[in-house]
């Protein structure tokens, strides 16, 4: 019997040791006993981080949707798979059972086929959090098409970059979306994006807000009539273990977004196994992750992980503040949610509203609380623990990344004693390492360093779409023979990990990863701007907010600064999306630079954080005189 479900701490240590000593035997047992294979593997693992190349379950054949849906039909056909809660609380929730999900995914898959989509083709999905989003993801997987979901808050220009980078042939979208009291014209954004995308020959449009939109003849099709005509029988395409399942873009510190490629078998095994343990999911539980499926958290822990376990997964279309800040708690009460997984930024926003909203609702169904996306501060952790969990529901602070596919460091609830702000222990099979600046591993406890992983795990991304060299340079070059996460961490006296934050130029704002370079590129396109630099500074709710230092061309100096600020944020909204807007924009005469011409962000960061007591040695700068001026005028 494999250890699929860990129930006490001793067992965790025992299973962890086994997973490190005999990783292949360990993962083979898990894979064998808990999943449905069309053909078993020839080899469990082959790997070489110097290339880098990693293969899990090579030779195996499967379809992930048979694991997520078909195999549950006999025992859980009438169980709710997806519980859709609409933006508007007056609209009825929709319970989609496993049988209905099967039917809807098969129909959708047949529509994709009828539009000429084949195994290996890329399909871009740009949808709000409506059932069609989960269904289209699964429909792609059913026929072996590679889905690339783009979060529906990105701008048309960001969408076009992503469509073109992976050469998508189809886009799936809706007429629009609801977001609190607002509606957003998604189809209009897609139309703008497609002006720059030659490869897309078909657009499927789901009806959500019933707005008048333009449909381009020959290219655009309403989804519903096609679904009505489609057969609900669709044999699952048989995929190889290492066939790509999806691409998901994440921001890098430089350059264009990176299309992380996840493959089939390892991703499935790891997301399912982590879901079961990190949330201690039991058969009758209702699980709710508030993320958007446009991010990795939604892929792994709304869709694939939960469905592989036959779980009931809540999918929420709206926002925590609509119609008021009690919405999350109203949903918890209404659907008797047992596991609740959200982001620190949401917790802080809710905490700011006080406990009145909480007190109006019965939250006794809650058993496990989760957090993800950025370090959780101590105050938010305690607020969550005291008021939401009433000190009875353990908090799982789960550290992981788009690149890791699944949760890497996290408590197992009722198993691992928690500690505020600590992600605690590595999950089964995960071998973290802390590295010093000279590239040496720091052993022992009570140390801090750069967080790496020194052994492959099943759900790691295998490459960056179209750019394997960049994959190697970004993740496998900083430290020999190790995957570098880009995060810093410390390890306490008992071996618990606390993630301290990014050590590169990625800034996490409200849980969204933003690279500084693309934002600076957008600003620099303004005709009055000569140069710019972005840094993060602490923000009560968003965790970090963005601070921009902008130098103007001579022609721009006479312009009204408030108008310029608006125009700059408008440019950022158009090129990336509203999530990347700057909170503060300071116009400066110049930017501090090293003699080789590199902007000294370290100094700018300190000024933005109002921490100027120790700026370090500025005498080696090319232009040390500039620093005092920036400090004097800081916002």
C-alpha distance from residue 411 to each of 8, 278, 399, 502 (Å): 11, 7, 10, 21
Q: Footprint of ligand WTA on residues 364-383 (CB under 6 A)?
A: 372-375
**Which of 336, 329, 393 shows the shortest CA–CA distance to 355?**
329
Q: What is the DSSP letter of 71?
A: G
Give the Cα separation of 408 and 387 in Å (integer): 27
Please pick, from the candidates 250, 416, 510, 532, the single residue that binds ligand WTA as defined by CB under 6 A.
250
Rg (CA), the chain: 24
- Applying CB under 6 A, does 292 fall inside the site for ligand WTA? no
- Applying CB under 6 A, does 348 fall inside the site for ligand WTA? no
**Which of 310, 326, 306 shows the shortest CA–CA distance to 318?**
326
Q: Supply φ then ψ for residue 368, to 5 degrees.
A: -135, 135
Task: Please say which residue, 35 or 484, places its beta carbon nearer to ligand WTA.
Answer: 484
- Applying CB under 6 A, does 107 fall inside the site for ligand WTA? no
- Applying CB under 6 A, does 271 fall inside the site for ligand WTA? no
Task: Please say which residue, 323 or 488, places its beta carbon nearer to ligand WTA.
Answer: 488
Q: Footprint of ligand WTA on residues 504-533 (CB under 6 A)?
A: 508, 513
Give the Cα separation of 166 and 117 in Å (integer): 15
- Nearest approach, Cβ of 381 to ligand WTA (angstroms)? 11
SS3 assignment, position 97? strand
Task: Please say which residue, 139 or 260, places its beta carbon nearer to ligand WTA.
Answer: 260
Contact window for ligand WTA (CB under 6 A) among 109-117, 289-297, 320-328, 596-604: 289-297
**Which of 380, 411, 408, 407 shows the shortest CA–CA distance to 395?**
411
Q: Footprint of ligand WTA on residues 50-89 (CB under 6 A)?
A: none
- Applying CB under 6 A, does 297 fall inside the site for ligand WTA? yes
Task: Please say which residue, 273 or 399, places its beta carbon nearer to ligand WTA.
Answer: 399
Give the Cα separation of 220 and 64 in Å (integer): 29
**Which of 305, 268, 87, 257 shows the shortest CA–CA distance to 160?**
257
SS3 assignment, position 441? strand
C-alpha distance from residue 487 to each of 224, 501, 632 (Å): 44, 5, 32
- Nearest approach, Cβ of 530 to ligand WTA (angstroms)? 31
Site string for ligand WTA, 405-444 (x = CB under 6 A): ------------------x---------------------
Size, binding site for ligand WTA by CB under 6 A: 22
Task: Please say which residue, 506 or 626, places its beta carbon nearer to ligand WTA.
Answer: 506
- Applying CB under 6 A, does 401 fall inside the site for ligand WTA? yes
- Nearest approach, Cβ of 497 to ligand WTA (angstroms)? 9
Neighbours of 91 (CB within 10 A): 12
Kind plus residue range of the DSSP H or E element containing 249: strand 244-250
- Applying CB under 6 A, does 400 fall inside the site for ligand WTA? yes
Q: Supply φ then ψ for residue 82, to 5 degrees.
A: -120, 125
Residue whose Cβ sits closest to ligand WTA: 402
Torsion on CA atoms 381, 509, 507, 515, rounded to nearest 10? 150
Contact window for ligand WTA (CB under 6 A) among 106-114, 218-226, 291-299, 313-321: 291-299
- Nearest approach, Cβ of 384 to ligand WTA (angstroms)? 13
Please pick, from the candidates 159, 286, 499, 545, the single residue that binds ligand WTA as defined by CB under 6 A.
499
Contact window for ligand WTA (CB under 6 A) among 200-208, 293-301, 354-362, 564-572: 293-301
Task: Please say which residue, 97 or 263, places its beta carbon nearer to ligand WTA.
Answer: 263
SS3 assignment, position 552? strand
- Applying CB under 6 A, does 150 fall inside the site for ligand WTA? no
Site string for ligand WTA, 467-496 (x = CB under 6 A): ------------------xxx---------
Is the separation of the CB atoms in 80 and 63 below 8 Å?
Answer: no
- Nearest approach, Cβ of 489 to ligand WTA (angstroms)? 9
Neighbours of 118 (CB within 10 A): 12
Contact window for ligand WTA (CB under 6 A) among 92-100, 169-177, 319-327, 391-399: 391-399
Structure tokens at 32: 């064998």
- Nearest approach, Cβ of 450 to ligand WTA (angstroms)? 12
C-alpha distance from residue 285 to each of 306, 367, 391 (Å): 11, 10, 20
Please pick, from the candidates 502, 526, 542, 606, the single residue that binds ligand WTA as defined by CB under 6 A.
502
Task: Classify residue 365 as left (phi > 0), alpha (psi -120 to 50) or beta.
Answer: alpha
Burial 590-605 (b: 16+ CB within 10 A, else e): bbbbeeeeebbbebbb
Q: Which residues bind ligand WTA (CB under 6 A)?
A: 250, 295-297, 372-375, 397-402, 423, 485-487, 499, 502, 508, 513
């Amino acid at each position: 019997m494999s250890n699929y479900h860990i129930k006490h701490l001793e067992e965790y240590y025992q299973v962890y040791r086994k997973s490190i000593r005999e990783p292949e035997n360990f993962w083979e047992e898990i894979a064998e006993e808990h999943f449905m294979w069309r053909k078993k593997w020839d080899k469990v693992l082959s790997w070489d981080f110097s290339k880098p190349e990693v293969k899990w379950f090579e030779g195996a054949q499967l379809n992930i949707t048979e694991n997520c849906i078909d195999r549950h039909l006999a025992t859980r056909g009438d169980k709710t798979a997806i519980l859709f809660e609409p933006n508007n609380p007056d609209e009825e929730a929709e319970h989609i059972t496993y049988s209905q999900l099967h039917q809807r995914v098969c129909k959708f898959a047949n529509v994709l086929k009828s539009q000429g989509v084949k195994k290996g083709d890329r399909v871009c999905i740009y949808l709000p959090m409506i059932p069609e989003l989960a269904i289209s993801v699964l429909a792609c997987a059913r026929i072996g098409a590679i889905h690339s979901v783009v979060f529906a808050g990105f701008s048309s220009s960001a969408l076009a970059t992503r469509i073109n980078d992976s050469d998508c042939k189809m886009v799936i979208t809706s007429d629009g979306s609801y977001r609190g009291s607002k509606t957003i014209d998604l189809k209009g954004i897609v139309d703008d994006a497609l002006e720059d995308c030659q490869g897309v020959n078909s657009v499927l449009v789901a009806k959500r807000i019933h707005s008048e939109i333009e449909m381009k003849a020959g290219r655009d099709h309403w989804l519903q009539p096609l679904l009505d005509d489609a057969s609900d029988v669709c044999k699952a395409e048989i995929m190889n273990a290492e066939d790509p399942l999806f691409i998901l873009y994440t921001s890098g510190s430089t350059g264009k977004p990176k299309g992380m490629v996840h493959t089939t078998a390892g991703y499935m095994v790891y997301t399912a196994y982590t879901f079961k343990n990190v949330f201690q999911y039991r058969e009758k539980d209702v699980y709710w992750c508030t993320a958007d499926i446009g991010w990795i958290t939604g892929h792994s822990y709304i869709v694939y992980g939960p469905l592989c376990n036959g779980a009931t997964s809540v999918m929420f279309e709206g926002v925590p503040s609509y119609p008021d800040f009690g919405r999350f708690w109203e949903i918890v009460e209404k659907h008797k949610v047992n596991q609740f997984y959200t982001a620190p930024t949401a917790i802080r926003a809710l905490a700011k509203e006080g406990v009145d909203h909480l007190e109006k609702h019965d939250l006794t169904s809650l058993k496990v609380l989760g957090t993800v996306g950025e370090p959780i501060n101590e105050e938010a952790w305690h607020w969550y623990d005291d008021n939401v969990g009433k000190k009875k529901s353990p908090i799982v602070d789960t550290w992981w990344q788009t690149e890791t596919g699944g949760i890497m460091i996290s408590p197992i609830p009722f198993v691992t004693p928690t500690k505020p702000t600590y992600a605690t222990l590595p999950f089964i099979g995960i071998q973290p390492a802390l590295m010093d600046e000279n590239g040496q591993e720091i052993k022992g406890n009570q140390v801090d360093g750069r967080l790496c992983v020194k052994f492959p795990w099943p759900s790691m991304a295998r490459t960056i779409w179209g750019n394997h060299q960049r994959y190697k340079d970004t993740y496998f070059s900083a430290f020999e023979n190790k995957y570098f996460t880009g995060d810093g961490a410390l390890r306490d006296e008992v071996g618990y990990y606390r993630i301290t934050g990014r050590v590169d130029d990625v800034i996490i704002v409200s849980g969204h990863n933003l690279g500084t370079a693309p934002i600076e590129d957008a600003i620099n396109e303004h005709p009055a701007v000569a140069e710019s630099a972005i840094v993060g500074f602490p923000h009560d709710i968003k965790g970090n907010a963005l601070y921009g230092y902008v130098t103007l061309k001579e022609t721009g100096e006479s312009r009204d600064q408030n108008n310029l600020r608006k125009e700059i944020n408008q440019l950022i909204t158009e090129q990336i999306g509203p999530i990347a807007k700057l909170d503060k924009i300071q116009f400066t005469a110049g930017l501090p630079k090293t003699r080789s011409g590199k902007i000294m962000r370290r100094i700018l960061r300190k000024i933005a954080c109002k921490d100027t007591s120790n700026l370090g040695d500025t005498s080696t700068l090319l232009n040390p005189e500039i620093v005092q001026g920036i400090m004097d005028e800081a916002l």
